[in-house]
């Protein structure tokens, strides 16, 4: 009677999630099975519903990765407030006919920053590069940490300005800082304590037209992409910043999902060490 979980994506062969969750399960003594499922582009909902039906009551949840996070948002019959703010869902829980959608990406980033990298966002000047889905998913969790400022800079300035406006007027939300949206030229003469690259530029080795002066002394530069040295990381290293890639965020968002499903919080440090090895 093993509970079943899966990660849905396309492509999915590269996914580290089955390995991470297997390590969490072994560490916490949880009896679960976690598999990777490739869903065809227009068959995400069908694939999830088939997984639930075939599980005969043992399918408990799923992770969702590129390109289905927005579709998972629509598939969910109930959503948490952080999933609402992100406009995307990376964690589904199946409970008595309901599909609950959550988003643990932002919490994963904040946990990686605070617990693994010793970089508390509170009081820091934060620059978020990019205004797509990856950026959107982390804005609310970062704002809730009360940074000194949060600037969203994007190649297409309009998208950053609109995103900042949207997060500047969240109803009923205890956020003190209003984000500011700018284009890359607006970065001239400004510097930050934490620079997070949420663009997909690193995936194609594209160099961002951002000034080196954006890295303040003792800056932490965080690349959300993992498994490769991106031009952003090279630029940050050359500027003397402390550099991290997105592997910690991947492990931490998985731990948050595992906690939601199983009620047990796994230790992430040994898993991160195993992934790095």
Q: Which stretch binds ligand ATR (CB under 6 A): 14-22, 154-162, 247-255, 260-268?
A: 154-162
206 contacts ligand ATR (rule: CB under 6 A): yes
Q: Are 65 and 11 in contact (CB under 8 A)?
A: no
User: Any idea which residue has 């009620």 for tokens?
Assistant: 263
Which residue lies nearer to ligand ATR by CB, 65 or 93? Answer: 65
Instruction: Give the nearest residue (CB) to ligand ATR.
Output: 132
How remote is the C-alpha of 277 from its chain's centroid? 22
56 is an active site residue: no
266 contacts ligand ATR (rule: CB under 6 A): no
Bridge partners (DSSP) listed for residue 94: 99
x-marked contacts with ligand ATR along 98-137 as a string, rule CB under 6 A:
--------------------------------xxxxxx--
201 contacts ligand ATR (rule: CB under 6 A): yes
Number of chain residues interacting with ligand ATR (CB under 6 A): 15
Among 199, 230, 253, 257, binds ligand ATR (CB under 6 A): 199
Q: Are 10 and 39 in contact (CB under 8 A)?
A: yes
CB of 125 to ligand ATR, least distance (A): 20
Among 70, 161, 200, 226, binds ligand ATR (CB under 6 A): 200
Active-site choice (69, 114, 176, 178) = 69
Among 16, 30, 159, 191, binds ligand ATR (CB under 6 A): 159
Which residue lies nearer to ligand ATR by CB, 147 or 181? Answer: 181
154 contacts ligand ATR (rule: CB under 6 A): yes
Report CA-CA distances (Å) from 159 to 68, 130, 177, 255: 21, 9, 19, 31
Q: Are 87 and 73 in contact (CB under 8 A)?
A: yes
Q: Which stretch binds ligand ATR (CB under 6 A): 72-80, 172-180, 193-201, 257-265?
A: 193-201
208 contacts ligand ATR (rule: CB under 6 A): yes
Interactions with ligand ATR, residue window 233-262 (CB under 6 A):
none
Q: Which stretch binds ligand ATR (CB under 6 A): 31-39, 172-180, 194-202, 239-247?
A: 194-202
Binding-site ranges for ligand ATR (CB under 6 A): 130-135, 154-156, 159, 199-201, 206, 208
Active site residues: 69
């Amino acid at each position: 009677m093993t509970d079943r979980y899966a990660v849905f994506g396309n492509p999915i062969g590269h996914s580290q999630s089955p390995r991470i969750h297997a390590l969490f399960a072994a560490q916490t003594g949880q009896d679960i099975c976690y598999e990777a499922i490739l869903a065809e582009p227009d068959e995400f909902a069908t694939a999830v519903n088939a997984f639930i039906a075939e599980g005969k009551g043992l399918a408990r949840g799923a992770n969702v990765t590129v390109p289905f996070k927005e579709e998972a948002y629509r598939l969910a019959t109930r959503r948490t407030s952080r999933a609402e703010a992100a406009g995307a869902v990376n964690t589904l829980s199946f409970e008595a006919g309901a599909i609950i959608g959550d988003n643990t990406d932002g919490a994963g980033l904040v946990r990686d920053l605070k617990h693994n990298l010793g970089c508390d966002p509170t009081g820091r000047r934060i620059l978020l590069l990019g205004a797509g889905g990856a950026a959107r998913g982390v804005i609310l969790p970062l704002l809730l940490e009360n940074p000194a400022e949060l600037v969203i800079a994007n190649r297409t300035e309009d998208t950053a300005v609109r995103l900042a406006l949207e997060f500047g007027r969240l109803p009923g939300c205890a956020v003190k800082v209003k984000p500011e949206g700018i284009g890359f030229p607006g970065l001239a003469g400004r510097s930050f304590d934490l620079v997070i690259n949420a663009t997909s530029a690193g995936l194609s080795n594209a160099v961002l037209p951002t000034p080196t002066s954006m890295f303040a002394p003792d800056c932490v530069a965080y690349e959300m992409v993992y498994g490769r040295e991106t031009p952003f990381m090279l630029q940050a290293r050359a500027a003397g910043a402390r550099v991290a890639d997105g592997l910690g965020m991947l492990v931490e968002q998985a731990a948050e999902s595992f906690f939601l499903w199983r009620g047990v919080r796994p230790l992430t440090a040994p898993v991160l060490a195993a992934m790095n090895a």
